Amino acid sequence: MNCMILNSPKPVADSPLKWAEIPDPVPGSGQVRVRIHTCGVCHTDLHTVEGELVPPVYPVIPGHQVVGEVEKLGEGVTRWKIGDRVGMAWLYQACGRCEYCQRGQENLCENIQFTGFHVNGGYTQYTTVHQDFAYAIPEGFSDREAAPLLCAGIIGFRSLRLSGIQPGQRLGLYGFGAAAHICIQIASYWGCEVYVFSRSEEHRKLALVLGATWVGDAKDTPPKLLHSSIIFAPAGWLVPEALRVLNRGGTVALGGIYMSPVPELDYTKHLYDEKILRSVANSTRQDGEDFLKIAAEIPIKTHTEIFPLMEANQVLLRLKTGEINGAAVLEIN
């Protein structure tokens, strides 16, 4: 099969992903082989390719927003049949035995594995996944539209939950990429006012089209204090800015897997009045199931830019420089 593979991390401007041909994967017991149709491009892929996140082994094929069809069944598979359309997300596998799995926090599993990080991901033609960690794609979403749902959507939904936002309250979104452009649709569906902070004029325009109450720069002060905020941009300097305009008792959730250093915080200025600052670590299968249900109910409209697999390096560079409006998706032929 053809793939874009990472042999060693480098700046994305140096095109670290290389076009290669490797053997097709063979599904093991309980696994299915998926013929990939599309794969979303995520900031986590960028951090992996540039070495800010270090996989346990190289080479590795990135990509974890996978949509395709079941092409081969491993021994003992009962959940899926040949031809079923399925999705794969960042959570590739959890052990089910550790204390975190036992209490419903498989996102914190001691033996967790991630798609496109511990195992080969979706920048290729075929991949394998355990039957219990694949998702049914709701009808009504094309392969292109569905790809961003598998990470941007799921992690955005978990971030919304952990932010504590309630229907009718004011939500801040810092950075308006793939996850935020899905989050705003859920929050609007819940009757929230959404305040978007972005340095990109194109991203601000999209936010207004999708129902933002107000848009501005992170240094700006919105007309009202916010009940909750989510920071998706991997920039630590945004943390004190978000806390600055947060209402008493509010929460700032950090929705990214990587962030540059956070400046020193002033307890009285930034955290007093029972403000909460918390991270969002991965997601559970239940997050995925719950999100896909509400995505179909709304229904979510994903704004995508489509590229061929061989342009993965250029797409990651555009993502890094903020030139993607909505979500980038690789189409696998």
Q: Quick count: other Cβ atoms within 10 Å of Cβ 111?
A: 12
pLDDT at 28: 97
Strand ranges for 22-101 from DSSP E: 31-41, 65-73, 85-88, 91-93
Q: Which two tokens stand for residue 259?
A: 């962030």
C-alpha–C-alpha distance, residues 152 and 179, integer Å: 4
pLDDT digits (tens, 9 = 90+) for 213-229: 999 999 999 999 999 99
Angle between helices 285-297 and 178-189 (to 10 degrees): 60
Q: Which amino acid is it at 60?
A: V
pLDDT at 169: 98
Domain ranges of the chain: 2-149+301-331, 153-279
Question: Which residues, 6 or more positions from 24, have their beta carbon under 8 angstroms from its beta carbon?
Answer: 1, 33, 125, 126
Superfamily of domain 2-149+301-331: Medium-chain alcohol dehydrogenases, catalytic domain (3.90.180.10)
C-alpha–C-alpha distance, residues 295 and 44, integer Å: 22
pLDDT digits (tens, 9 = 90+) for 127-143: 999 999 999 999 999 99
By C-alpha distance, which of 259, 253, 260 is closest to 275?
Answer: 253
CATH of domain 153-279: 3.40.50.720
- For the chain, which ranges sit under pLDDT 50? none
Asked if domains 2-149+301-331 and 153-279 share a fold, the reply is no
pLDDT at 205: 96
Strand ranges for 49-192 from DSSP E: 65-73, 85-88, 91-93, 113-114, 126-130, 135-136, 170-174
pLDDT at 143: 98
pLDDT at 134: 98
pLDDT at 333: 79
